[in-house]
Amino acid sequence: MSPLSGNGSSEVEQVLTEMLQKASSSQVFGALRSMSRKMIEAARERIRRSYPNASDEEIATMLLERYYGKDLADRFRMEMQKRRSR
């Protein structure tokens, strides 16, 4: 098996691969969901450090734009503006 990355231990990678192969679908999904949440939180913190005066809404918009594209971020902005004007 070829290594997944060039900077890790092949023994560790082998153990992780074996664990994933033995895990149920729900266990794999749970692990992926957990990793995804951690990555989003890390990205949110990076943005917060780069833009310390940004509001939570501005940070959410930057995350949306970075990971899901400008179109979705613009739609989010418009929806938030509508809600504020109600």
CA distance readout (Å), 27 to 23, 31, 72, 74 = 6, 6, 30, 35
Average pLDDT, the chain: 90
Q: Is residue 45 predicted with pLDDT exceeding 60?
A: yes
pTM for this one? 0.66
Q: What is the pLDDT of residues 46-81, one digit of tens each?
A: 999 999 999 999 999 999 999 999 999 999 999 999
Q: Is residue 24 predicted with pLDDT exceeding 90?
A: yes
